[in-house]
Chains A and B, each alone.
Chain A
C-alpha cells in the first residue's frame, strides 16, 4: 500500500487507483487501434475497388467506341472495292493500269493519313497510294493473304504507331482475278484524346495496345504494356518498373486484336483513405482521452473509499480502533464502509471489554497476592511467636527444674525443645519457598561456568570432605542470577550431602544443547541415590526419601529448584538408583525464547 507521503501523481503501479485506469486505457487503445487498422484496410479496399470499377467503365466505353470506329472505317474502305477503276487496275495486272485508281483516291488518303496498297492474290503489289508516311511497305514482311483479312495488330515503326487492315478484292464476273486492298493508318492522329481524358478523369492514364502485349501506346508515344494478364479483360493491379502500384481495368476491343487499359496510380487513390485514417485517428484519440479521464475519475470514486478502508484496517492492525470512515453511498462500497465501521466498533468494544476484564483480573490477582502476603506474614510472625515460647519456656523449665526431674522427664523436655526448633526451621523454609514464587524474575546474561565454580567452592568449603569435582565447559545463559544461584546451590549441596558417606565421592556437572537451542544442565553424583519408584516425590515440598537422622534438611530444596526452573520456562527431572548415585537435570529454553 502506498504511504501517505507519496505524491498523488507519481504512478503507484501496485495501487488499483492507477492500475484500473491504465488497464482500461490500454485496452481501449488496443481496441481503437485494431478498429482503425481494420477500417483503414476496408476503406482502402473499397477505394481501390471503386477506382477499378471506374477504370472498367472508362475502358469499356473506350473499347466500345473504338470497336464502333473500326467497322466504319472498314465500310469506308469497302466502298473502294466497288470502284470500276480498282477492278481495271487488278485486271490490268500492271502499275500503269492502276494510275486512274491512284489518282482518284489520293486526296482522300492524304486527308485521312492513310496508305492504301493494291495487291494481287499472287503477292504482287500493283499500286501504293501514300497519303502520309506510314510504316514500311509490308508490315510483317509477308504479302497479304486470306488468313490475315480484317484489322491487324498495332505496329510500330520508330516512334510511329499504325494499324493495318486487309480487305479482299473479290473477283468480278468477267474474270476470276482477285486481290487484296491493304490500308495502313497512323494511330496518333486520334482526334478525340482530350475527350477520352475527360471521360476517365484526371489522374487516369489510358493505354492502347495489342492483346499479345508487343506494341503499346499511351496515345502520345510508345510505352511498355501493363504487367497484367492481357488476355483477360477486367480489373487488375500491377506494380510498374518504378515500383509504383497501379489499379486499372482492361477491355478488349471488339473486332480487333487490340485492348484498351485505363489505370489510376494507387497512391492517388489511397490519399483519400489516408486522410480518412488521420481523421479517424484524431477522433479515436479524442475518445481515448475523454474515456481515460472518465475512468480515472471513476477509479478515484471506487478506490478512494477503498484506500480509506485500507487505512482503517491498517490502523486497527496497529492497535488504533478509533478510526471510522465516512460514506453516504448506497452501493457496495457504501455497504463495505458501513460493515467495516461496524467491525471496527465491535473490535473496539471487544478490546475495551477485554482490557477492562484484564484490569479486573489484575486487581483480583493483586488482591489475592496481597492476601497471600498477609497470610505468609502472619505465618512468619504470629505462628513463630508461640513456637518460640514453647521452646523458650521448655528451655527455662529444663534449666530451673533440672535436678528435680527424672531422666525420662528431661528427655521429654528435650524432645519438646528440638521439635519446636525443627518446626521453626520448617516455617522458615516454607516462607523462603513462598518468596521464591512471589519475587519477580530479573533476567540478565549469566556466565554459568563461573557461577557453578563459585557455588562449588562454597559447598565444598562447608562440606570439608574430599570430593572429586568434574566441571565440563558451560555456556552463558539468560536467567535471574540470584535464583539460578539458588538452584545450583541446592543441587550441588545435595550432591555433596548424599555422597558424604563415600570415600571416593564424585560430582560431575555439565550441559548439553539440543537442536532447538534448549540447554540441559545436569549434576551427577555417585552417592546414595534413590529408588526410581519414588521419583515423583522428589521435587515435592517437604518430601524426603531418606530419614532425617541420616541426612539433615527439611525437604524444601528440590521444590525450590523446580519452582525456579519452571518460572524460567524450563523443566526438571532426575534419574537415580539406590546406592549407585543420582543425576539431576534442569533445562532452560533457548535465548531467543527466553528473551521473548
Chain B
C-alpha cells in the first residue's frame, strides 16, 4: 500500500480554496489562505534549503507565457491551467491528486 502523501493548498482567494477543496476531496489536503501571490510562495519555497525538494504544482488561471517562464525558472514541478468548465476542473483536481499524492516518488532526505 503506497503512502498517501498530504497536499498543502496555498491559495489567496477563498472561493478558489473552496472549489479546489471540492475537487481534491478524496485526498489528505490542508489549506492555507495566503496573502501573497503564488509566484512569491514558489520563490520562497524553492529558496529554502529545507523546503526546496518539496514538489510545487502551480494551479492558475493564467496561460501567459511570461508566467509559465517565470514559474519554470523558479523551479516549479508542474504548471496547470485551471479549466473553465467545472466538471473539467473536478477531473483535473482528481488527476493531480492521484499523481502527486500516490504515483509520484520523493527522495527520503528532506
**B49-86 interface bits toward A, Cβ cutoff 8 Å, 1 = contact, 0 = none:** 00000000000111110110000000000000010111
**B13, B61, B84: the one within 8 Å of A391 (CB):** B84
State which of B15, B16, B64 has its C-beta within 8 Å of the C-beta of A377: B64
B87 proximal to A (CB < 8 A): yes
| A93 interface contact, C-beta 8 A | no
Decide if A421 touches B85 in the complex (CB within 8 Å): yes
Q: B29 at interface (Cβ–Cβ under 8 A)?
A: no
B15 surroundings in chain A (CB, below 8 A) = 385, 389, 392-393
Q: What chain A residues lie within 8 Å of B62 (beta carbons)? A: 377, 380-381
Per DSSP, chain A at the interface is helix
Interface flags for A160-198 (1: CB within 8 Å of B; 0: not) read 000000000000000000000000000000000000000
Q: Answer whether residue B34 sits at the interface, using C-beta atoms and an 8 A cutoff.
A: no
A389 in complex: contacting residue of B19, B66, B85, B87, CB < 8 Å: B19
Q: How many residues of B contact A (CB 8 A)?
A: 18
CB atoms of B19 and A381 under 8 A apart: no
CB neighbours (8 Å) of B19 from chain A are 388-389, 392-393, 396
Chain B nearest Cβ from A556, distance in angstroms: 15
A417 on the B face (CB < 8 A): yes
Complex contact A380–B16 (CB within 8 A): no
Tally the A-B contacts, defined by beta carbons under 8 Å: 57
**Are B84 and A387 in contact, CB atoms less than 8 angstroms apart?**
yes
Kindly state whether residue A424 has any CB partner on chain B within 8 Å: yes
Of all chain B residues, the one with the shortest Cβ separation from A386 is B15
Given contacts A393-B15, A393-B19, A396-B22, contact A385 B85 (CB under 8 A): no
Across-interface contacts of A228 in B (CB, < 8 A): none
Tell me the smallest distance from the CB of A420 to a CB of chain B, in Å. 7
Q: Say how far A415's CB is from chain B's closest CB, in angstroms.
A: 14
The reply to whether A395 and B13 contact each other, CB–CB distance below 8 Å, is: no
Report B24 CB to chain A, min CB distance, Å.
13
Q: Does A443 contact B (CB under 8 A)?
A: no
Assembly CA distance A431 to B84 (angstroms): 15
Q: State whether the Cβ of A384 lies closer than 8 Å to any Cβ in chain B.
A: yes
A425 close to B (CB within 8 Å): yes
For window 236-254 of A, CB contacts with B under 8 Å fall at none
Residues of chain B lying within 8 A (CB to CB) of residue A391: 84-86
User: With a CB–CB cut-off of 8 A, which chain A residues contact B87?
Assistant: 395
Task: List chain A residues, Cβ under 8 A from B64.
Answer: 376-377, 380-381
In the complex, what's the smallest C-beta–C-beta distance from B7 to chain A, in angstroms?
19
Contact A389 B61 (CB under 8 A): no
Known: A395-B87, A421-B84. A388 touches B63 (CB 8 A): no
Contact partners of B16 in chain A: CB under 8 A: 385, 389
Q: Are A392 and B89 in contact (CB-based, < 8 A)?
A: yes
- Is B84 a contact of A385 with CB atoms below 8 Å? no
CB–CB A420/B84 < 8 A:
yes
Residues of B within 8 A of A392 (CB): 15, 19, 86, 89
Which of these, A373, A388, A431, contacts B89 with CB under 8 Å? A388
- C-alpha spacing A127/B56, complex, angstroms: 176
Q: Can you list 6 pairs linking A and B with CB atoms under 8 Å apart?
A: A381-B60, A381-B62, A388-B86, A391-B85, A391-B86, A431-B63
Cβ-closest 10 pairs across A and B: A424-B84, A395-B86, A384-B61, A392-B19, A381-B62, A389-B15, A392-B86, A381-B61, A385-B61, A391-B86
- A interface with B by C-beta (< 8 Å): 373, 376-377, 380-382, 384-385, 387-389, 391-396, 417, 420-421, 424-425, 428, 431
A-binding residues in B (CB < 8 A): 13, 15-16, 19, 22, 60-64, 66-67, 82, 84-87, 89
